[in-house]
Amino acid sequence: MKNTTLPQLYEDMRRVRTFEERVGELFVRGKSAGSMLHLSIGEESAAVGVCAHMRDGDTFTTHHRGHGIFLARGADPDRMMAEIAGKESGYCHGKGGSMHIADMGLGHLGANAIVGGGIPSVVGAGLSARHKKSGAISVAFFGDGATGQGILYESMNMAALWKLPVIFVCINNQYGMGTRIDQATANPNLHERAAAFGLAARTVDGLDVEDVADAAADLIAGAREGRPAFLSIDCYRFFGHARKDKSPYRDEAEEAEGRKKDPVLRARDKLISDGLMSEAELDALDTRVASEMDGSIDFAVAGNEPQMQSMFRDVYAPSQPEPEPVRTRLDRILAQEPR
Amino acid sequence: MAVQQTTYRDALRLALSEAMTKDENVIVMGEEVGRYGGAYGVTKDLIKEFGPERVIDTPISEAAIVGAAVGAAMTGLRPVAELMYVDFIGMTMDQLANQAAKIRYMFGGQIGVPMVLRTQGGTGRSAGAQHSQSLEGYIMHTPGLRLAMPATVEDAYHLLRQSLQQPDPVVFIEHKGLYTMKGALDPDAAPAGWGEATVLREGDDLVIVTYSRQVHHALEAAETLAGAHGINVTVVDLRTLNPLDFDTIRPLVEAAGRAMVVSEGVMTCGVAAELSARITEECFDFLEEPVVRVAGEDIPISVSPLLEQNSVPTPELIVDIARKMFA
């Protein structure tokens, strides 16, 4: 488990915030791979607050907007940025990109580009943890959009039924793509649904990272003892769904109001007012983090493209034959001598 | 273990039981697999042998059964998930096609998903349009998924054991019409390798390539063709559709000059379409006749036994079409 004091939580949130800002720059510079980038700016307290209480051996799955969670869990920003840029040096050698990043070493069982798609994996990971008596928990991170997907309810039912060491963490940024939560459900009190399945269920305001971390600490401790849980974290997504989305579905007044709910600034102000860190110390920290993330962009941009032949690799295990490329196959067939 | 007379169903059960004894990470999960013993009895009494922690009765939640198997496989277990009918595969398709099949590739080879999804399909029990389909084409169309379809008692055992050794997700489709079929099984005999087709009958005139229950229809038709019509047929049982053993098919078709593909799945865009295209491309210069597909009609399956039986290939249809290839 990590240090959960406010200075550490702040630093982790600042790293997530700055990383995401750099991801946005990568996109603007035309250096990101593909068109899909989902920034989690505004949601830092969820990533950092929950991950603060995870430990080695724990596993997790994330969603479209999972950069911050992975970074908070200890990911190397260089390899993350390289993956987002589609480079060989990235976590998945450029095949996963932003939406499908994973790292088994850190227990990251995968980001998911299917809304709700990664949720049931934690049920299986929970079965494994219990079978192997590893003491590990598994956490499914997803957005409020996923609460419309049946797989969440199938998974919560199984987790509760079998008392698995798992937690379902809903990062409620108020929008499933362009549809506001109150346009997607008649009852936006999401934890009530989980409670109905028999899970320990709570909603916490994401403005204060310490509140999030406290709630996560309780629920994670319970999960390790076989009390599966659901935590909904209220926050506001500062930018559009994906990088090109200008958010036509919400007005400037709403966005301005929403962006006041900034967990990073909130923590910064509190550090100063509580006398834990000075403004100068915080500025120095922010500068150090900015420099680290600048380095990650440079690392990503400088990385090599994947080798073409790698296209046919890892469809199946390395011990298995690779699929025959279309071109090779056709050349072979057309080169046959007529009988 | 000596040669024993057993059924396709019990051969499957033996394979599961032995695999679970050998490797404590093998778990079985699915609807009714425990106390009930499986809708078709394949997992009968396994729960007594291995307990409810390893033979896990699930709610009726197909997507989460497969999804949980994915997560379990990624974290060190060897799950065998049972889907009661292949017809329900649509509900699992995200977990199967978007997760299980893609994980190794998307994550740059970091990890595989060594799970087996056991299910059954096909006609023969008047189970109607939602419980009788042959959906192997869905699986074969998805890179990353292996597909095994045993036709014999021996392969029910050996292919399931082999499937449990694979590093990648295997969809294992049994045939509902074969569970009570009896045959000899020698668990210690060396089986055909994973991904190898077997030649069950040899003949110089025509090669029939098929799998699952249609192997038996093809063998029956071949006897009739040899006896009554002087047409000698080779019957190839593919055993696995992915991997596909084309190396066995090619020389046989080149020698005979005629090929038929028999599949219970519907004709259009089906497994037979793929096989026939492949044979045509690779063996074109040797063919005396177009490759013929004898496949399921492009219609849903009826409850009426008469309509059901005649909406998929029958031995009579195979004989009739084969004769026309020589007319």
Write out pLDDT tens, residues A234-270.
Answer: 999 999 998 888 899 999 999 999 999 999 999 999 9
Domain contains B190: no
Tell me which chain A residues have a C-beta less than 8 angstroms from the C-beta of B99.
112, 114, 117-118, 121
Per the structure, how many domains does chain B have?
2
- The chain A residue lying nearest B100, using CA atoms, is A121
Per the structure, how many domains does chain A have?
1
Rounded to 10 degrees, the C-alpha dihedral B166/B170/B176/B177 comes to: -60
- My answer on whether B224 and B286 are in the same domain is yes
Å between A291 CA and nearest CA of chain B: 28
Nearest-angstrom CA–CA distance, A308 and A153:
41
pLDDT for residue B165 is more than 70: yes
- My answer on whether B212 and B84 are in the same domain is no
Token pair of B14 as six digits: 């033996």
- My answer on whether B31 and B68 are in the same domain is yes
- My answer on whether B63 and B180 are in the same domain is yes
pLDDT for residue A168 is more than 90: yes
Compute the count of residue pairs across chains A and B with CB atoms less than 8 Å apart: 159
Write out pLDDT tens, residues B166-193.
Answer: 999 999 999 999 999 999 999 999 999 9
Write out pLDDT tens, residues B266-289.
Answer: 999 999 999 999 999 999 999 999
Pairing relationship of beta strands A166-172 and A138-143 according to DSSP bridges:
parallel
Q: Using an 8 Å Cβ cutoff, are B236 and B214 in contact?
A: no
* Per-chain mean pLDDT for chain A: 96
pLDDT for residue B309 is more than 70: yes
At B1 the pLDDT is 67
pLDDT for residue A3 is more than 80: no
* Helix (H), strand (E) at residue A224: helix A209-224
Q: Using an 8 Å Cβ cutoff, are B214 and B241 in contact?
A: no
- My answer on whether B33 and B166 are in the same domain is yes
- My answer on whether B135 and B33 are in the same domain is yes
pLDDT for residue B35 is more than 90: yes
Tell me which chain B residues have a C-beta less than 8 angstroms from the C-beta of A131.
25, 27, 53, 77
Write out pLDDT tens, residues B64-98.
Answer: 999 999 999 999 999 999 999 999 999 999 999 99
Q: Using an 8 Å Cβ cutoff, are A324 and B282 in contact?
A: no
At B3 the pLDDT is 87
Write out pLDDT tens, residues A93-152.
Answer: 999 999 999 999 999 999 999 999 999 999 999 999 999 999 999 999 999 999 999 999
pLDDT-above-70 percentage for chain B: 100
Tell me the CATH number at B134: 3.40.50.970
pLDDT for residue A17 is more than 70: yes
- My answer on whether B159 and B244 are in the same domain is no
- My answer on whether B170 and B91 are in the same domain is yes
Instruction: Give the ipTM of the model, two decimals please.
Output: 0.94
Which one of A70, A314, A336 would you mutate to disrupt binding with B, by most B Cβ within 10 Å of its Cβ? A314
Q: Where among B156, B185, B214 does a domain terminate?
A: B185
* Interchain CB distance below 8 Å, B67 and A120: yes
* Interchain CB distance below 8 Å, B71 and A123: yes
Residues with Cβ within 8 Å of residue B2, at least 6 apart in sequence? B186
Task: Give the structural domain span for A131.
Answer: 5-335
CA angle A159, B24, B31 (to 5 degrees): 45
Domain contains B171: yes
Domain contains B232: yes
Nearest-angstrom CA–CA distance, B172 and B160:
8
Q: Using an 8 Å Cβ cutoff, are B125 and B180 in contact?
A: no
Average pLDDT over residues B245-269: 98
pLDDT for residue A40 is more than 80: yes
* Per-chain mean pLDDT for chain B: 97
* Interchain CB distance below 8 Å, A128 and B285: no
Tell me the CATH number at B253: 3.40.50.920
Domain contains B158: yes
- My answer on whether B163 and B22 are in the same domain is yes
- My answer on whether B179 and B203 are in the same domain is no
Residues of B annotated catalytic, as ranges: 62, 131
Task: Give the structural domain span for B276.
Answer: 198-325
Write out pLDDT tens, residues A187-228.
Answer: 999 999 999 999 999 999 999 999 999 999 999 999 999 999
Q: Using an 8 Å Cβ cutoff, are A144 and A175 in contact?
A: yes
- The chain B residue lying nearest A121, using CA atoms, is B71
At A336 the pLDDT is 85
Nearest-angstrom CA–CA distance, A71 and A290:
14
Secondary structure (DSSP) of B268-303: TTSHHHHHHHHHHHHHGGG-SS--EEEEE-SSPPPS
- My answer on whether B154 and B23 are in the same domain is yes
pLDDT for residue A35 is more than 90: no
Tell me the CATH number at A88: 3.40.50.970
Q: Where among B150, B185, B220 does a domain terminate?
A: B185
Å between A143 CA and nearest CA of chain B: 18
Total count of residues recorded for chain B: 327
- My answer on whether B267 and B228 are in the same domain is yes
Average pLDDT over residues B219-237: 98
Q: Sheet of B146-148: strands edge to edge?
A: B55-57, B26-30, B78-83, B116-121, B170-175, B146-148, B240-242
Average pLDDT over residues B61-66: 98
Residue type, B165: Q
Domain contains B193: no
Angle in degrees, 0-180, between the axes of helices A44-51 and A263-273, rounded to the nearest 10 = 70
